[in-house]
Copies of this chain bind each other. A is one copy, B any other.
Amino acid sequence: MTVEQIEALLADVAAGRTTPPAALERLRHLPFEDLQFARIDHHRALRQGHPEVVFCEGKTPEQILAICERLEAASGTFLGTRASEAVATRLAARFPRVVWNQLARTVHLPAADQPKRVSQTDTILVISAGTSDLPVAEEAAVVAEVFGHPVERLVDVGVAGLHRLLVATEQMRRARAVIVVAGMEGALPSVVGGMVSAPVIAVPTSVGYGASFGGLAALLAMLNSCAAGVTVVNIDNGFGAAAAASRICRA
């Protein structure tokens, strides 16, 4: 039931075309959720300026194409994560302007008109511990950029060679939010968390073997960080970290 429909109903009551009990009956069952639905959608259009994001893993190229066509029709843009080369190829055949970031595994159709930046100054810094963590870090970076944030990257600064991290102290302290991506022992967020006062979002990766148990070791380490105020997202969830950072920088 839309606002217009409620207006019409109330007008009918005022005009005597509908009795109060009949109106009550309609309102009692009113699908307020439609209002809610519409409001939220509208909210998104106004506030966020970015499309829904498609998680491509486990979907066929045809399914992804169908979803992206619907998104493109509605908003003129779309973003997909965990996109294989097959998916990228299929989308590129239909949308020549689509951008495939092979490392980040993202597919993005930019809007025809340049989207407004959320901020020119609130930088999101994405730090990654090892080169194998780069796909997850790059996913975070690309998503944050598509969401309209300035992004900086700091790579290969594992805790076993601290000097590489320490030289970037000033860069870290300038960021409005810091995403720290690390596999194996997942120690980097604790170190970073002790060096900056900005929000630190830790992303454990499945990089490792044996007792890393697919990223569990890094996940547990990050949850137990001795640096107060470090928060954690799911293993390999670069997208989620970017979304969290975007919530922080958006307000």
Contact of A220 among B47, B194, B206, B217 (CB under 8 A): B217
- Are B197's CB and A37's CB within 8 A? no
Count, chain A residues at interface, CB 8 A? 109
The reply to whether A185 and B222 contact each other, CB–CB distance below 8 Å, is yes
Whether, in the assembled complex, A6 has its beta carbon less than 8 Å from a beta carbon of chain B, the answer is yes
Q: For the complex, is A240 an interface residue (Cβ under 8 Å from B)? A: yes
Once the chains bind, are A34 and B167 in contact (CB under 8 Å)? yes
Residue contacts A-B, CB under 8 angstroms, 8 given:
A6-B27, A6-B28, A28-B35, A210-B223, A211-B216, A220-B220, A228-B239, A229-B246
Give chain A's interface secondary structure class: helix
Instruction: List residues 191-238 of chain A with CB under 8 A from any CB of chain B.
Output: 191, 193-195, 197-201, 204, 206-237
Which A positions have Cβ atoms within 8 angstroms of B?
3, 6-7, 10-11, 13-14, 16, 19-21, 23-24, 27-37, 39-40, 43, 47-48, 53, 57-59, 129-132, 158-167, 169-170, 176, 184-187, 190-191, 193-195, 197-201, 204, 206-237, 239-248, 250-251
